[in-house]
Amino acid sequence: MYPDDPETIAVRDAIFDPFEYFVERKKDGLLKTQFANSLGTVSYHIPCHSRVQNMGQKTREMLEAVPGTKVNTVERCAGHDGTWGVKEEYFEKSMKIGRPVFRQMGETPHGAPDYVSSDCPIAGRHIMQGIRESGEPTAEKAHPLTLLRKAYGL
């Protein structure tokens, strides 16, 4: 919002996305990668806000680092757009916009996923609702940080 403000720049330069931080520590050899558990198949949705951060697909990269884990990545608008998709007058439109994502998340090239995940909790909830309404088998919804915790056995 204030790209030239020194205080804004100082905050920007001191903050990392959690998965951006993990990938950097992995590159430095400082991240423990002795995972206790596979995550099976994860359908991971890249939310719109992550795409504009211009940092690459760090969450996907970390999830793929867990041995025995297959990641199905979907990079498309899920249709919720913050509070827009939960408003009664826009709900049906938001579900229609999200249908391609619901299909891609609900059935991966590896079969039904074990987990459905997004860095955006609102998108994750919206996607799960769309998957359930389509009659697809329901996976467990889990934020990527929760998945990493499970992989470590914590």
What is the rounded CA–CA span in Å between residue 63 and residue 42? 8
Largest CA distance in the chain: 51
pLDDT in tens, 101-154: 998 888 877 788 999 999 988 888 888 888 888 776 678 899 999 999 999 999
What is the helix, strand, coil percentage profile of the chain, to 5? 45, 10, 40
pLDDT in tens, 84-100: 777 889 888 988 988 99
> Taking Cα atoms as reference points, which of 107, 98, 110 lies closest to residue 139?
107
Beta strands in the chain (DSSP E): 41-45, 70-74, 115-118, 140-141
Give the pLDDT confidence score for residue 137 in this predicted structure: 66
pLDDT in tens, 46-86: 987 777 677 779 999 999 999 999 999 998 888 887 777 77
Contacts of 148 (CB under 8 A, 6+ apart): 22, 62, 63, 66
HSE-up of 65 (CA within 13 Å, CB side)? 20
For the whole prediction, is pTM greater than 0.95?
Answer: no
